[in-house]
Structure 1
Amino acid sequence: MTATPRGLRSLLLSDRYRSDKEDVVQTFFVPAFTVASSYSRAVGYFTSTSLALFARGIETFAERGGAMRLVASPHLDEDDLVDIERGYDVRAVVERATLRELEQEQPDTVLDGLGLLGRLIAEGRLDIKLAFVQQEGRVGIYHEKIGVFRDDVGDLVGFTGSSNETYGGLMANFESVEVYRGWFPGDGTRALRLEADFQALWSNQTPHLSVERFPDVARDRLIKLGDERPHRQLLGTDNALTPTPTRASEPTRLAIPDWISVRDYQREAVTSWLGRQGRGILKMATGTGKTKTAMIGATQLATVLRQREQPLVLLIVAPLTHLVDQWITEVEDFGVKPIAVYESSQKWLPMVEEQLAAARMGQRPVVALVATNASFAGEKFQSVLARITLPLLIIADEAHNLGSSTYRSALPTNATYRLALSATPERWFDDEGTDSLTDYFGPIIFELGLGKAIEMGALTRYEYLPRLIELNDAETSLYVELSAQIATRIGAGDSLKDADPDSPLGFLLRQRAGVLGHAEGKLAAVREDLNARRDEWFQLAYCAEGRRPAETGAPPGPKQVDEVMNLLGNQLHLSAHPYVSETPRPERKVLLRRFGAGDDLRALVAMRCLDEGVDIPDARIGYLLASSSNPRQFIQRRGRLLRLAEGKERAVILDYLAVPPESTSVNFNVERALLVREFERANEFGKLSENYEATLQALRPLKERYQLMDM
């Protein structure tokens, strides 16, 4: 009698497996491995753990001489993506990323799995390829998850579904697969289709996908690991690679990191805030550590609440996504992983609801949320906020932004504790908005001005070098024309205070400011200053927004940011990069890191994007081409340059002031008003500099001519 072949058809396979009902690896993968002769798998991300997960339960399969093919997507980080977009060789970047994954420190269970795969590669029974989306010069992630088993008699089983393919994913340890048995009516077509999809993928015939052979250097690393690791059996179970509880536990309590030395003024600020029942405004100069001061305060509050067996919901609101990212890092430093509330609510809403529920049940002492202003004010997050009955602390970063009519109505009335942070909490031309902030958060309970911060060594000293730039005839004429139109608008009842940026008056004000900011003479002056400092690193240039204004009917001029980039790169041959609103978020992080490293990027050329909250302490030299008369804006820019950094003794600020031409027939009062706008900034910058006398001497002739000696 002939024995019945023992193959895939002999297994009692279900059409679906989920970890909530069974051990998926033990009940599906291991039985299939015991009878299959080939295994093809696309696993999504290529990480050390995804590769090791591939090894669960394959010992028997390996011993029987089974052959395997594996396709994964290289785990590219932001540096890799930026390099590819700049034209670096994609294969070289992929090789670097793959090797980086294999060289990371991993637990023994992961290394054992990798070692087994390394031995299979050495024996020629495992082949790996890497797949990624490549279209129009950009690279994306291939994240499909399919698999196919074949046996010696030709039967096949196809499957699709999830797999815990990152180390963090192992915390949940959940598997789910849909199975298609080739000999079942209806299943056969699907199983064959999955096999055809994999074959097209393996042979690099899938549109928009690029499939490359596994880098030799990474292959050799796995083979070496196979030689080094002991031949220990890797359990064929779902939890074969689950981290030990000590590694898997997520910190949920706030604690001041050991490496932070709390400064006396930070302690004073926190004590003052707690003494006001956890309400108030910290008015602290840019660069003096408002963020850490706030987190110290939140930690102290959480400690008090924990003693009362109460949780804390910590809500941090910041105006921009890159500030949210910075806050997330800060909160993590204090021991809690926060939820980022921006972009799609599908990403954050389930996590927010889950953690709030855990806090209500006493299972979580701190829930930390960091939201952009826009997401904070959105309908979905406001609905969540309205239902919170737990102790709630709201920390508002750059709090002056929340004084606008759009945002102040979104401030939660159920927040027991409130803390506002700003170097300039007073809103420019908006007393009502300023008052609303004080009404909600409370008064200014601690103030640390720039002068005192420099004196105590919390900020660096600086020199201030004003450069007087005469407007040319066309610019002077346009400035006068715009001033007349503005005066007409105001005379007709328009208010400067309520001028909407998109209103006719707002447009005129922007155009007039643009005339000063884009004054053509600034380029020649900044070229001379840059050339004199061509050997210096850590330089910032703040450019005027938009394009150079032109007379009615004429096309606008070029963008100043482009002109300065051309000056730095093409004329002076200095390494520089723009940092503007169009710069992608991942690239911004890379640029700031390269700039701070001081090895291949001498200058950043910015247009507003470096105004609020960006931490670039290494910046030492600043060129202010934008003639901002908004105190908040120029104070923020100065603050970027005065942060402390290793080896930084002082900063230098070069400010390009637009002034009337020496011989002009322009109305005296218009000329005088122009100078008032520029001199207010010069006085603010000059009075705390190390060379104030030199600033006064430079400005004195014009002050005398226009009767401005009282400034």
Structure 2
Amino acid sequence: MTVIGAVAPTGLRSIALASRYRSDREDVVQSFYVPALSQAVSYSRAVGYFTSTSLALFARGIRRLADRGGKMRLIASPHLDAADIADIERGYELREVMERAIVRELAAADSERLLDGLSLVGQLIAQGVLDIKLAFVERDGRVGLYHEKLGILRDESGDLVAFTGSSNETMGGLIANFESIEVYQGWVPGDGSRALRLEADFDNLWANDTSHLQVMDFPAVARDRLIEVARDRPDRAPHESDEALTPRRAEVSHLVHLRLPAGFTPRNYQGEAVKGWLSNRGRGILKMATGTGKTKTALVAATHLSHVLQRREEPLVVVIVAPLQHLVDQWVDEVETFGVRPVAIYESSQRWLPAVEEQLTASRLGQRPVVVFVATNASFSGARFQEILARIAQPLLIIADEAHNLGSAAYRTALPTRATYRLALSATPERWLDDEGTAALTEYFGPVVYELDLGRAIELGALCRYRYIPRLVELTDAETILYTDLTAQIAQRLAAGESVTDDSDSPLGQLLRKRTGVLGHAAGKLTAVGQDVEQRTGAWFQLIYCAEGRRPGEPGDPPGPRQIEQVMDLVGNRLGLSAHTYVSDTPRRDRSGLLRRFGSGNDLRALVAMKCLDEGVDVPDARVAYLLASSSNPRQFIQRRGRILRRAPGKEQAEILDYIAVPRADAPVNFDVERKLLIRELARVNEFGRLAENYGDTLAALRPLKERYQLMHL
């Protein structure tokens, strides 16, 4: 029934406001913010934190209010990093530190969309529509963030609406997250006193009259910077329609969050590793045996961290660094199972730069709570990506796969000092013959926060049991002569004071590398491996590791054959196994196909490789490994062993055959020098044998050699 003479409500009273808004029932932005701001002439807002992106969103939201002559007061907590807080607690001038933090935030705005939003901010400040103050907690000499969230709206009639709740006015706070607010209408009995109390709280804040809180004016230098942006971009400020305070929910349907894959439950040791890293404030090294799931462990850690930051309404940028392109591809696939589509960083920057810039902008705008980039060591350390790293103002997590590589002088200077969170992964974080590089890694990433060695991993069932079969192969007469000559030259240089380093280009390094080549390419290894493969021609999932390069010869001799070609001829042609090489020259597009064929169990019986399978390549189905060459660097043989011990359906035990070339018993070698060399070789053999199911057989096979060189104690 229509009442004659009744006056229709106006202003805030004309809106059918609810007492509570919650994300599971309605769109908080469209249901509350848009209609309320469309009727208000003043808007007072206190929120959790200030960023350039949230500031741009505030301005866009009050455009309609400004067009009607309305004004807004904003109180926010400055975005302080650890260095800012440390400076304040050391007694630095508060205003200077706050000013530095705000200027840093504005300097991080580099996208067109974000600059357009800040241009509108500058216009509103210049017009006197928007006034900003900064708040922070100060108690007992310590500084904290102001995290209260409340809002006050008044219309032309003076009617009041106040609200309080969980959301910040950022894209993440208003749209991406699950939020709720409580609303108090000044004209409703019971609500009026609450609304007035919230308004009084805000007024006390604005007047800097709240215990334990400091509220200061917005820095003049930042204010001038915003007005300058507006002056430089007079026609670029976005115009807000009646329909939107911020982009609608449909526009951010691509939002992604890190989450555990369906059906995946971390193993207990993975949970312990993550706990150890988080307990060390998100820094440290995971020293875990090859094949125990370091990749998934790292992503579980990143997922936990992202959830913590999400509760603070902070985004996370994750940069994963891996040595080679195929490892980047593997990481990309793995990250996608955790709910985020990362950007692969390698090859030309023209290929990846647009996606990087787009995702970083979306992160700053609150549209992407997590951004993940996966880069090769080379692209990560390149000038283009380093320039991007320097501009990232969001919380940053660096994950280093095969982290020992980043300890080199060429790479360690590229590690960003402003990364709050740092995680290094390696079965062997200690760098071979490089104490300085090892120390640099520990200094940057932190200490080892969790360690899982091979024996424990096998005991826990993370890796499979294995048999180890060492094969002693004697050098031929020609190989013995060359080997003896090289050993004599090495002994002379060592006696002259030259040191063994990882510099393979030094004269001593070249001699050592050539002698290693003689051992690796020993002709007797082909005969021995042929006999062993022939006994296993019906077996699937076989890996054959060959020596690098060509067989060394005397000066002036033509280049010798490549062992990998000899093995392919032996295995593929003479023994008739379906086999394929997997080397650095194998096109990247073909590698995943080869691994699929190998893992199918009905196509390729063997992969023949050199070093390309050493780091990170996932071949869990491999059951048998033939090691024709392996350096004395522990990293290489530890990785190769781990590669063959990964678990797979139906795989209960692996087998490792190791071919060890030695001079004949009557060879004219220097006993002391040869004994020292053999000690290093036996360190590898003992490491392989001690955890094998047949350790007694290993000791029996090595006994004649140990007796010859008086090494029975090893």
What TM-score do the two structures reach when normalised by structure 2?
A: 0.64
Deviates more, 1:256-265 or 1:308-317: 256-265
Question: Per-residue CA shift, 1:621-672, capped at 9, x if unaligned?
Answer: 0000003211100110011100000011100000001112022222212332
| 1:680 correspondence with 2:674 | no
1:367-386, aligned counterparts within 5 Å? 367-386=371-390
**Structure 2 match to 1:346:** 350
Q: Distance in 2 between matches of 1:399 and 1:454?
A: 23
**Structure 2 match to 1:697:** 700
Question: Per-residue CA shift, 1:504-524, capped at 9, x if unaligned?
Answer: 222212111101111110000
| 1:590 correspondence with 2:593 | yes
**Structure 2 match to 1:641:** 644
**Structure 2 match to 1:631:** 634
Q: Distance in 2 between matches of 1:406 and 1:615?
A: 27
* 1:248, distance to aligned residue in structure 2 (A): 9.6
Q: 8 Å contact 1:627–1:657 — kept in the other structure?
A: no
Describe the SS at the equivalent of 1:608.
Answer: coil
Question: Per-residue CA shift, 1:192-234, capped at 9, x if unaligned?
Answer: xxxxxxxxxxxxxxxxxxxxxxxxxxxxxxxxxxxxxxxxxxx
CA, structure 1 residues 359+479, in 2 after alignment: closer, same or farther (shift >3 Å)?
A: same
- Equivalent position to 1:446, from 422, 444, 450: 450
Q: 8 Å contact 1:658–1:678 — kept in the other structure?
A: no
Q: Distance in 1 between matches of 2:254 and 2:567?
A: 47
Letter in 2 for 1:559: R
**Structure 1 match to 2:132:** none
**Structure 2 match to 1:455:** 459
* 1:678, distance to aligned residue in structure 2 (A): 2.4
Q: Distance in 1 between matches of 2:479 and 2:371?
A: 55
Q: 8 Å contact 1:627–1:658 — kept in the other structure?
A: no
**Structure 2 match to 1:523:** 526
User: Which structure has the greater CA radius of gyration?
Assistant: 2
1:112-511, aligned counterparts within 5 Å? 249-497=253-501, 500-511=503-514
Describe the SS at the equivalent of 2:608.
Answer: strand
- Equivalent position to 2:670, from 667, 677, 684: 667
Q: Distance in 2 between matches of 1:481 and 1:409?
A: 41
Describe the SS at the equivalent of 1:271.
Answer: helix
Q: Distance in 1 between matches of 2:681 and 2:481?
A: 18
* 1:556, distance to aligned residue in structure 2 (A): 2.5
Question: Per-residue CA shift, 1:464-496, capped at 9, x if unaligned?
Answer: 000000111221221121122223333444331
Describe the SS at the equivalent of 2:656.
Answer: strand
Unpaired segments ≥5 residues, structure 2 = 1-248
Letter in 2 for 1:665: P
Q: Distance in 1 between matches of 2:397 and 2:591?
A: 30
| 1:581 correspondence with 2:584 | yes
Describe the SS at the equivalent of 2:272.
Answer: helix
Q: 8 Å contact 1:513–1:627 — kept in the other structure?
A: no
Percent identity, please: 69
Q: Distance in 2 between matches of 1:698 and 1:426?
A: 31
Q: 8 Å contact 1:419–1:441 — kept in the other structure?
A: yes
Question: Per-residue CA shift, 1:308-343, capped at 9, x if unaligned?
Answer: 010000000000000000000111000000011110
Letter in 2 for 1:668: F
Describe the SS at the equivalent of 1:541.
Answer: strand
CA, structure 1 residues 536+308, in 2 after alignment: closer, same or farther (shift >3 Å)?
A: same
Unpaired segments ≥5 residues, structure 1 = 1-244
Q: Distance in 1 between matches of 2:588 and 2:259?
A: 29
Q: 8 Å contact 2:546–2:609 — kept in the other structure?
A: yes
Q: Distance in 2 between matches of 1:514 and 1:326?
A: 32
Q: Distance in 1 between matches of 2:401 and 2:630?
A: 25
Question: Per-residue CA shift, 1:11-57, capped at 9, x if unaligned?
Answer: xxxxxxxxxxxxxxxxxxxxxxxxxxxxxxxxxxxxxxxxxxxxxxx
* 1:702, distance to aligned residue in structure 2 (A): 1.3
Letter in 2 for 1:345: S
* 1:408, distance to aligned residue in structure 2 (A): 0.5
Letter in 1 for 2:547: A
Describe the SS at the equivalent of 1:368.
Answer: strand
Q: Distance in 1 between matches of 2:654 and 2:377?
A: 32
CA, structure 1 residues 346+255, in 2 after alignment: closer, same or farther (shift >3 Å)?
A: same
| 1:709 correspondence with 2:712 | yes
Q: 8 Å contact 1:659–1:674 — kept in the other structure?
A: no
- Equivalent position to 1:619, from 619, 622, 627: 622
Letter in 1 for 2:708: R
Describe the SS at the equivalent of 2:444.
Answer: helix
Letter in 2 for 1:625: L
Letter in 2 for 1:695: T
Q: 8 Å contact 2:255–2:369 — kept in the other structure?
A: no
Q: Distance in 2 between matches of 1:691 and 1:571?
A: 31
* 1:251, distance to aligned residue in structure 2 (A): 4.6
* 1:370, distance to aligned residue in structure 2 (A): 0.2
| 1:658 correspondence with 2:661 | yes
Q: Distance in 2 between matches of 1:627 and 1:449?
A: 20
Q: 8 Å contact 1:318–1:373 — kept in the other structure?
A: yes
Q: Distance in 2 between matches of 1:586 and 1:491?
A: 49
* 1:709, distance to aligned residue in structure 2 (A): 1.3
Q: 8 Å contact 1:627–1:678 — kept in the other structure?
A: no
Question: Per-residue CA shift, 1:283-307, capped at 9, x if unaligned?
Answer: 0000000000000000000000000
* 1:554, distance to aligned residue in structure 2 (A): 1.1
Paired residues in the alignment total 467
Q: 8 Å contact 2:474–2:663 — kept in the other structure?
A: yes
Q: Distance in 1 between matches of 2:478 and 2:251?
A: 68
Deviates more, 1:661-670 or 1:348-357: 661-670
* 1:282, distance to aligned residue in structure 2 (A): 0.1
Q: 8 Å contact 1:627–1:656 — kept in the other structure?
A: no
* 1:679, distance to aligned residue in structure 2 (A): 1.3
**Structure 2 match to 1:608:** 611
Describe the SS at the equivalent of 1:256.
Answer: coil
Q: 8 Å contact 1:388–1:414 — kept in the other structure?
A: no
What's the C-alpha RMSD, in Å, of the aligned pairs?
1.6
Q: Distance in 2 between matches of 1:635 and 1:528?
A: 25
Q: Distance in 2 between matches of 1:526 and 1:248?
A: 58
What TM-score do the two structures reach when normalised by structure 1?
A: 0.64
Describe the SS at the equivalent of 1:567.
Answer: helix
CA, structure 1 residues 537+246, in 2 after alignment: closer, same or farther (shift >3 Å)?
A: farther
Describe the SS at the equivalent of 2:665.
Answer: coil
Describe the SS at the equivalent of 1:294.
Answer: helix
Letter in 2 for 1:333: T
Q: Distance in 1 between matches of 2:413 and 2:448?
A: 21
**Structure 1 match to 2:233:** none
